[in-house]
Chain A
Amino acid sequence: MGQKLEIDKKSQSVIKAGWIWKLAYKDARKNFGRLFLFISSVIIGIAALVAIDSFNRNLQNDINDQSKELLGADLEIDSRRTIFDSTFMVSLDSLDVEISSDARFASMVYFPKNSGTRLIQARAIEGGFPYYGTIEMVEGSDIASFRNGKAVLIDESLAIQYDIQVKDSLKLGKGTFQISGVVTAFPGTTSINADIQPTVYLPYERLEETGLIQYGSRVNYHKYLKVRDGELEEVKEFLDPLLEEYNYRMDDVEERKEDFGRGFGNLYKFFNLLSFVALILGCIGVASSVYIYVREKKYAAAVLRCMGASGWQIFFVFFIQILTIGIIGSILGVIHGILIQYVLPIVVSDFIPVDVAPQISWISAFKGLGLGLIISTLFSVLPLTNIRFIAPLIILRETVEKTGRKSKFKYFIFALIVFFPWIFSVNQTDSFANGSMFFGSLVLVFALLWLVAKGLIWVVQRFFPSRSSFIWRQSLSNLFRPNNQTVILVIVIGLGAFLLSTLALIQNSLLGQVEFAGKGERSNTVLFDIQPYQKDEVLQLTKDFELPVQQFVPIVTTRIKAVRDSTVAQIQEDTTSSIRSWALTREYRVTYRDSLIESEKILEGVFQSEAVDDSIFISVSDNLKEGLNLQLNDEIIWNVQGVEVKTYVGSFREVDWQRVQTNFMVVFPEGVLENAPQFFVLITRIDDKNVSARFQQELVRNFPNVSAIDLTLILETVDQVFDKIGFVIRFMALFSVLTGLFVLSGAVINSKYARLKENVLLRTLGALQKQLLQMTIIEYSYLGLFAGFTGSMLALIASWALSIFFFEILFFPDFISLAVIWISVTFLTVFVGWINTKSILNKSPLEVLRKEV
């Protein structure tokens, strides 16, 4: 029997062993260059994450803080385009609350100062509204004159466009008003709203002077309530049954906040996707750099093992380095993220109705710091675990039998690695299903890239061109020789290409949603609210200006009374009914004609051009079919201004709602609604700006109630607005792209060390610079092309799924972006590989070996 070994536990300690810390520092001094890309991935990834997260949080906080300003009151009641019922008003007045009213409608305004005309939103206000927030105005404005009914206010965009100052006047309908103020911000509205359709605010008592409120005019009536603290729920409970009875809609601050959130939903979602991508890229960056770093360190580890260091001690030497750099990277990332966050509110201020104060969000900062540490730790521990089991024998001979040792710790870390992105994606998307989908797709992509890499190795080995030139043979065999980097580089490059392409495609689809028509021969001017008695004169005026009448459409307002033998009230009471409330209670604007128009296509049934006897077959759009859960021949009874009209569903139509023209959910045949109260809409195209201005001036003088919308102006404004949103999307996406590029470059640069000895040896044996460069280009081209192509193709599938299921938008595949990314990724891979080899070739083989090995 041998002697029993007694180990001095102190010498095996990891924490107490000072040499571990010292060696970690000493070793890192010379390795800082190699770890630079690792730290860069952490910095950029965390910076993007913190900037996005801080901005989202600050926005949410500011919305909460300024939420009452989003509405300007505690409650808003919308009468849904009818005048408030007098009985309802009696009930409302019985409440001990402050009440204000407004009426909003579109109209043309005329500025006598310079004969300018423009479609605006008129907003007649009565009472102390807004109760929360202040009406911000330019210097010299006077709110008192507005409040006591003497003057009107106008939006700043209107004042700038027509060079209007305080004390100038304007004509609205038949009334002429003095302007006492220029509004820069009104609670609850954004400057985007003001740009697209600027508002003229007038005292309610002077509304009649305009003479614009006529039959068929689209007027929105609202009541605003200011409730005493603590009484809001009580007031809501009192109002709920009344609102149901009169079919009015109530909005409170919470709902407005939700609406606002929904309005920016896709932007939030995109930002969350960016965070996810930035984080995953950071993880890949960390894992790949540490993997390659550890491989380089195996001889140092084996030497330490020979000197008597334990596996854990060696592990901690390198872990301390990685962790320290991870901490530094995370702190720098957080600082950069905070700095970027100061820029964001300036960029987005125009289309957000609250002031986003650029403050440090400590939650985001700590979240960034925490995530940075988790990424640095988790994704470095797995490759580092291998170093614990380095056989010291490799010092004596290169090939050592594998011990086949299974480490429980390694499995534990692996489980955490799987779990972490999953939890993060669920947290980011606020949905278990979506988060799991994100994560699942990523795992699938990872697996497919692994398969492609293995497939590539197999194909090259199986069909190896044995008779080709030395350069081809050498570069291709690099793909499968021992110590090859095919799998790791294909996965890293492929994932990078996948994430970048997915972002580009999603960005394109999001931007695609905001593309507007209005080019070529399409209509660009719409005249609204033409009364029947004005019909011929307006047509004549249009002809006098030699303008084409592209559409002249009658519009009748109506409501649904019954669907399939059940009245609206019965359906509402029926809790099992699948009919949607919006479809049942809305005010419908329908038309009648004898044929389909360009933007329509029959999906089912037959379009009836003229009513025969009592059988009136209407045509219904596909979205209304869904809303009312309709089948062909279903009966619908309409209340047309008090007259019941029984109809049957004759056909279902697909309608292209994006077209600039009048589109309808319901089209009646001719011979039914001709005598119903109605108004007309005329659509034309005016190419010359001067003609457009003269036509609009003539129109507003002769027919003050008729509104002309110059879509050119709106389209330009909308384009500008979406350019800004696009800028924000691109600006934020840039961080993920940068992270991706750093990660890719890092992986390829690190691969230099694997090829170093071989290249130096070949150089020593007389290989020409040209030959070595050619070999590098061929090897890296293969890797870049295969990985990039696989990544791009997978991105096409992923972005389609994301568009449809996550963003719920149309998918616009952009093959040009895809090809550009594919080529760029390949080029970057080859370029960095070329730079690597070049740096070796410019020095003597001995110099390189001494410096680098």
Chain B
Amino acid sequence: MSSILSINTLSKTFQTGDRSITVLQDITFDIAENTSISIVGPSGSGKTTLLGLCAGLDQPTSGSIKMLDIELGELNEDERAYIRNQHVGFVFQNFQLLPTLTALENVMIPLEIRGSKNIAYKAEELLDRVGLADRKDHYPSQLSGGEQQRVAIARAFISDPKILFADEPTGNLDEETAEIITDILFSINKELGTTLVLVTHNLQLAEHTGRILKLKGGKIVEDKAISV
């Protein structure tokens, strides 16, 4: 199986005043296509930083990140944005829907940016898939947290991404809603054959993926496969 994401000796250091803090150090791993992986670890272990770097939202201090065999470090911000639009989906802990757009409009946004036509039908289908067909004209402020996250999942999958990054997707939800969201996320992911990169500190959620990468103090301390 070929790699969709290839990380090699990745480091990230932040400068705060006179001090520099190394958040990630010598990280190397590959993610194969159509697989799912969880990045787990305690707070401050560098999970979110790693996710940001893998998704091309930030630049490493050293090392390389190859997505679909493209070296992200050689791209400028607009080029990385293009890669994200073509191949990447996101689900965030805080949902991050655009408050001024309706649920349907939020779902359509990635394809609108891509320049695709006749996308409303696909967006409606996805909203139906996440159980929100009757809420498509509601604004985020009129939806509950769970509903907002379902809209975010629909938005993440509308562009048929090759890789989906999910940052604590159930972190802001109650147990019951979290279960529903987990089911939706994994079932659509399976249907579409998307590579899933999940950042969480919830081991129960992490066990839904085929592989767990454990971080501690900015280093990989464990990389284990899970039999699902």
Q: Does A27 sit within 8 A of B, measured CB to CB?
A: yes
Question: Given that A396-B48, A396-B57 are known contacts, is A299 also in contact with B14, CB under 8 Å in the complex?
Answer: no
Question: Is A310 in contact with B82, judged by CB distance below 8 angstroms?
Answer: yes
Question: Is B78 in contact with A12, judged by CB distance below 8 angstroms?
Answer: yes
- Residues of chain A lying within 8 A (CB to CB) of residue B83: 5, 308
Residue of A nearest to B108 (CB): A19
- Residues of chain A lying within 8 A (CB to CB) of residue B48: 396-397
What are 26 A-B pairs at a CB distance below 8 A? A2-B66, A4-B70, A5-B75, A5-B82, A5-B83, A7-B82, A8-B115, A11-B85, A11-B113, A23-B101, A27-B100, A30-B100, A30-B139, A300-B99, A300-B100, A304-B109, A306-B84, A311-B81, A313-B113, A389-B77, A395-B90, A395-B96, A396-B52, A396-B57, A401-B15, A851-B141
Cα distance, A396 to B46, chains bound together (Å):
12
Q: Does A522 sit within 8 A of B, measured CB to CB?
A: no
Map CB proximity to B onto A8-31 as digits: 1 under 8 Å, 0 otherwise: 101110001111001100111111
Question: Is A308 in contact with B96, judged by CB distance below 8 angstroms?
Answer: no
**What is the CB-to-nearest-CB distance from A393 to chain B, in angstroms, rounded to a whole number?**
5
- Residues of chain B lying within 8 A (CB to CB) of residue A22: 112
Taking A8-B82, A307-B90, A393-B57 as known contacts, 16 extra A-B pairs with beta carbons closer than 8 A to each other, sorted by chain A number, are: A2-B66, A10-B115, A12-B82, A19-B115, A23-B112, A27-B100, A299-B96, A300-B100, A303-B96, A306-B84, A308-B113, A309-B81, A310-B78, A391-B57, A395-B92, A396-B92
The one of B52, B79, B94 in contact with A393, judged by C-beta atoms closer than 8 angstroms, is B52
Q: Does B110 sit within 8 A of A, measured CB to CB?
A: yes
Q: Does B147 sit within 8 A of A, measured CB to CB?
A: no
- Residues of chain B lying within 8 A (CB to CB) of residue A311: 77-78, 81
Q: Does B98 sit within 8 A of A, measured CB to CB?
A: yes
Question: Is B99 in contact with A17, judged by CB distance below 8 angstroms?
Answer: no
Q: Does B71 sit within 8 A of A, measured CB to CB?
A: yes
Residue of B nearest to A389 (CB): B77
Question: Is A26 in contact with B70, judged by CB distance below 8 angstroms?
Answer: no
Map CB proximity to A onto B86-107 as digits: 1 under 8 Å, 0 otherwise: 1010101010111111000100
Question: Is B81 in contact with A305, judged by CB distance below 8 angstroms?
Answer: yes
Question: Is B96 in contact with A26, judged by CB distance below 8 angstroms?
Answer: no
Residue of B nearest to A23 (CB): B112
6 nearest CB pairs, A to B: A308-B85, A19-B112, A2-B71, A30-B100, A850-B141, A3-B69
Q: Does B173 sit within 8 A of A, measured CB to CB?
A: no
- Residues of chain A lying within 8 A (CB to CB) of residue B55: 306
- Residues of chain A lying within 8 A (CB to CB) of residue B100: 26-31, 300
The one of A7, A23, A30, A397 in contact with B79, judged by C-beta atoms closer than 8 angstroms, is A7
Q: Does B178 sit within 8 A of A, measured CB to CB?
A: no
Question: Given that A3-B68, A853-B99 are known contacts, is A307 also in contact with B113, CB under 8 Å in the complex?
Answer: yes
Residue of B nearest to A30 (CB): B100
Residue of A nearest to B167 (CB): A396
Question: Is A393 in contact with B58, judged by CB distance below 8 angstroms?
Answer: yes
Instruction: Tally A residues with Cβ within 8 Å of B.
Output: 46
- Residues of chain A lying within 8 A (CB to CB) of residue B97: 303
Map CB proximity to B onto A307-328 as digits: 1 under 8 Å, 0 otherwise: 1111111000000000000000
Q: Does B114 sit within 8 A of A, measured CB to CB?
A: yes
Residue of A nearest to B56 (CB): A392
Question: Given that A308-B84, A308-B86 are known contacts, is A391 also in contact with B58, CB under 8 Å in the complex?
Answer: yes
- Residues of chain A lying within 8 A (CB to CB) of residue B114: 11, 308
Cα distance, A196 to B126, chains bound together (Å):
84
**What is the CB-to-nearest-CB distance from B22 to chain A, in angstroms, rounded to a whole number?**
14
Question: Is B58 in contact with A307, judged by CB distance below 8 angstroms?
Answer: no
- Residues of chain B lying within 8 A (CB to CB) of residue A850: 141-142
Question: Given that A5-B75, A392-B57, A393-B58 are known contacts, is A19 also in contact with B113, CB under 8 Å in the complex?
Answer: yes
Question: Is A303 in contact with B81, judged by CB distance below 8 angstroms?
Answer: no
**Which of B94, B96, B98 lies at the interface centre, i.e. has the most chain A CB atoms within 10 A of its CB?**
B98
- Residues of chain B lying within 8 A (CB to CB) of residue A17: 113, 115
Map CB proximity to A onto B14-53 as digits: 1 under 8 Å, 0 otherwise: 1100000000000000000000000000000000110110
Question: Given that A3-B69, A19-B113, A308-B86 are known contacts, is A26 also in contact with B105, CB under 8 Å in the complex?
Answer: yes
Cα distance, A17 to B116, chains bound together (Å):
10
- Residues of chain B lying within 8 A (CB to CB) of residue A393: 52, 57-58
Cα distance, A567 to B110, chains bound together (Å):
92
Residue of A nearest to B101 (CB): A26
Map CB proximity to A onto B127-152 as digits: 1 under 8 Å, 0 otherwise: 00000000000010110000000000
Cα distance, A30 to B98, chains bound together (Å):
11
Question: Is A5 in contact with B79, judged by CB distance below 8 angstroms?
Answer: yes
Cα distance, A11 to B114, chains bound together (Å):
6
Question: Is A2 in contact with B115, judged by CB distance below 8 angstroms?
Answer: no
Cα distance, A31 to B70, chains bound together (Å):
39
Cα distance, A393 to B14, chains bound together (Å):
14
Q: Does B74 sit within 8 A of A, measured CB to CB?
A: yes
Question: Is A2 in contact with B85, judged by CB distance below 8 angstroms?
Answer: no
